[in-house]
Structure 1
Amino acid sequence: MLRDLRFILSALGCVTVLGACQPQLNSGLPLGAPAYEALGGAVPVTEGVYRIRPGDRVNVSLFQEPDLSGTDLLVDESGQVSLPLIGAVQMAGRTTEEVSREIERAYGARYLRDPQASVALRTIVPQTVTVDGQVTQPGVFEIRPGYTLVSAIALARGTTNTAKFDEVLIMRTIDGRRAVARFDINAIRAGRMEDPRILPGDQVVVGFDRLRGIYRDVLQVGPLLGVFTQL
């Protein structure tokens, strides 16, 4: 009995050291409202408004003007599409509704009376996020407009039993600079925090809970007989 206890205590000491070696995320990162501000106002949405991106293909239709309309037009790397008479129209970063109104203004200024334009997405380039850290299946996943932090974690088949729920980071590039913010997914699921929107190119990292990791490793070495443990 004494020998078994010494074995367990020795194992506990070993896994404590191992747990300390696990990479720890920075708890000093902004949490709550400052976190949303750090990501450029990553407000939660239930239905995302898609903004056109380079590589997308669109249909442009002008009512009763087939010669000015176009099908399967590629949005080039500069985010533009060239249309008859009015030339390049900036589409990237705008919604289809915004571009439609811009085309109406351009044609109405010089060529048509009360033009009615409609822009529709034909195909969009794949949008992906990376989910890493303490999740069941880390990887790169395709997302759709309106996906949130909880949605992204679900794509990775949820968190592991050693995840630290208040150490979930979103990393995002804004105007060429890297921004990082911290979120608590338990608080999000309980409705105490808003679920932030995930954008293409984001990286989500779920932190490691050192205490949970120690208990997990101890139980793998050998269960403590007659002792209840809760993870």
Structure 2
Amino acid sequence: MKRIFHHPGKAAPAVISAALLAGCQSGIEPVVPAGTDAYATIAVDPAETEMAAARYGLRGGDVVSVAVFQEPELSRDGIALDAAGNINLPLLGEIRAGGLTTGELARLIERSYAAQYLRDPRVAVYLDESVRDMVSVEGEVELPGMYEYRDGLTLLSSLALARSPTEVARLDQVVIFRDVGGERMGGVFDVEAIREGRMPDPAMRPGDVVVVGYSAVQGRYRDFLRAAPILGIFTRF
């Protein structure tokens, strides 16, 4: 499974979630829902999922080819959308392609050329390469980073990709952040309850961010055990 480390500029979800988890650990009312409410909060309508799969919107990093019928000098192969979802075409300059299907982009290019340069242009757009869907696992795990999404991925299998939570992880304070209907949502999940079968293992979606909280109590205990031989607390009999 391919793993990509975060750049510093992508740390915002971790900073936000750390503040939320700190509030949970100090006894303050959680900012995001927990328990069964957490499952309801990040639930995605299956019909919406199927519709999104059927209608693939182009994204930054995707590579497309644009064919303008009988106009080879205007056709281009292997154009990569920039981070903002734009492409550059002859005569037209920058075109906003992000969020459009290949068919919608073709119609937009036809209208743009017809408005100034060509009579009844015909355009086809082909998707050569799409950006991989990813999930992010952060916080108290052995190998935080971004991992390629695959069908059937769940919270537990996502944690396994990150080599599981650390010994100081707060397993009842694991947050999933998700975009639902264009709105950023989040829920707190209890990994121990999931492992024991008392709660379902939530399915992951592309773009999800998982953050595992830190247990101050376990952290102090770990530090104690590490310092014990130095302090001479334990004696061999």
Q: TM-score, normalised by structure 1?
A: 0.53
Deviation at 1:214, TM superposition (A): 9.9
1:103 aligned partner: 109
Of structures 1 and 2, the one with the larger relative CO (CA 8 A, separation 6+) is 1
2:146 maps to amino acid: F
**Is 1:182 the counterpart of 2:188 in the alignment?**
yes
SS in 1 for 2:88: strand
Count of matched residue pairs: 188
Contact 1:169 1:205 in 2 (8 A): yes
Q: Give the whole-Å Cα distance in 1 for the aligned partners of 2:76 and 2:225.
A: 65
**Is 1:195 the counterpart of 2:200 in the alignment?**
no
**Is 1:137 the counterpart of 2:157 in the alignment?**
no
The aligned runs of 1:162-173 (5 Å cut-off) are 163-171=169-177
1:112 aligned partner: 120
1:155 maps to amino acid: L
Contact 2:42 2:185 in 1 (8 A): no
2:86 maps to amino acid: Q
Moved more, 185-194 or 95-104: 185-194
2:89 maps to amino acid: L
Q: Give the whole-Å Cα distance in 1 for the aligned partners of 2:66 and 2:94.
A: 13
Q: Give the whole-Å Cα distance in 2 for the aligned partners of 1:167 and 1:75.
A: 38
1:91 maps to amino acid: A
Larger Rg: 1
**Is 1:152 the counterpart of 2:163 in the alignment?**
no
Aligned residues: percent identity? 33
Q: TM-score, normalised by structure 2?
A: 0.52
Q: Give the whole-Å Cα distance in 2 for the aligned partners of 1:76 and 1:217.
A: 46
Deviation at 1:118, TM superposition (A): 2.1
Q: Deviations over 1:85-123 (max 9, x none)?
A: 55432112334454344335555776326x351231347
2:85 to 76, 79, 90: 79
SS in 2 for 1:170: strand
SS in 1 for 2:73: helix
Contact 2:66 2:123 in 1 (8 A): no
Q: Which runs of 5+ in 1 are unaligned?
A: 1-22, 38-42, 222-231
Q: Which runs of 5+ in 2 are unaligned?
A: 1-20, 229-237
